[in-house]
A and B are shown apart, each in its own frame.
Chain A
Amino acid sequence: AQSVTQLDSQVPVFEEAPVELRCNYSSSVSVYLFWYVQYPNQGLQLLLKYLSGSTLVKGINGFEAEFNKSQTSFHLRKPSVHISDTAEYFCAVSPHASGGSYIPTFGRGTSLIVHP
């Protein structure tokens, strides 16, 4: 079984400031890692994913995340945020294929609030 902990339920930040949204996970098997964004009244949109290889992953809208296996973390960062980045962000893990069970586990979400 897997679990995902997003350490901050809400992160307020001023426009053009850097931001980090934290995500830790636990799993007894190898996992793929994902970050999604959800804007009000919309579904989720994939920001980035870590499948293998380089531990620094770049995604859309200037976001990046670093996979740290020893700390079982996958923190999301952006060097300079915009008002339009205000949204809910979800970290998720999915086990490597094991008998076809691909059930993903999501964190509770972090609300990023960007102030002018």
Chain B
Amino acid sequence: KAGVTQTPRYLIKTRGQQVTLSCSPISGHRSVSWYQQTPGQGLQFLFEYFSETQRNKGNFPGRFSGRQFSNSRSEMNVSTLELGDSALYLCASSLDRGPLNEQFFGPGTRLTVL
């Protein structure tokens, strides 16, 4: 079974631009979560999607948004990029919602904002 795939793997943008990251969950998984990983802040939860609806949101500004499609694939968008948005963005999928369902992580998209 294929794992979680994220595209692109690397991205370089400049301040003020916007970016869209994509995540394809493991087949059959319906829950997708996004995380931001930085050396300074560590791993922080961005949002969780299930059945095309955002179920939970972390403490991030409105510039960060996402969506989930009917096939469970998910995208996240960051508008008006800032230098501090440089990070590894991780996507994780699970069969269903909740901590009793193991999350499987993708390799991440490394975003660099210049």
Chain A contact residues, CB within 8 Å of chain B: 32, 34, 41-46, 49, 51, 90, 92, 94-97, 100-109
Contact = CB atoms under 8 A, between A and B. Distances in A.
B55 A100 contact: yes
15 contacts: A41-B107, A43-B90, A44-B92, A44-B105, A92-B43, A95-B99, A100-B55, A103-B48, A103-B58, A104-B45, A104-B99, A105-B45, A106-B44, A108-B42, A109-B42
Between B56, B58, B103, the greatest number of chain A beta carbons within 10 A of the residue's beta carbon is seen for: B103
Contacts of A109: 42-43
Contacts of A51: 99-100
Contacts of B56: 100-103
B40 to A, nearest CB: 9
A102 B97 CA distance: 8
B99 A94 contact: yes
B66 interface: no
A107 B107 contact: no
A94 B42 CA distance: 16
Nearest to B102: A46
A45 B107 CA distance: 10
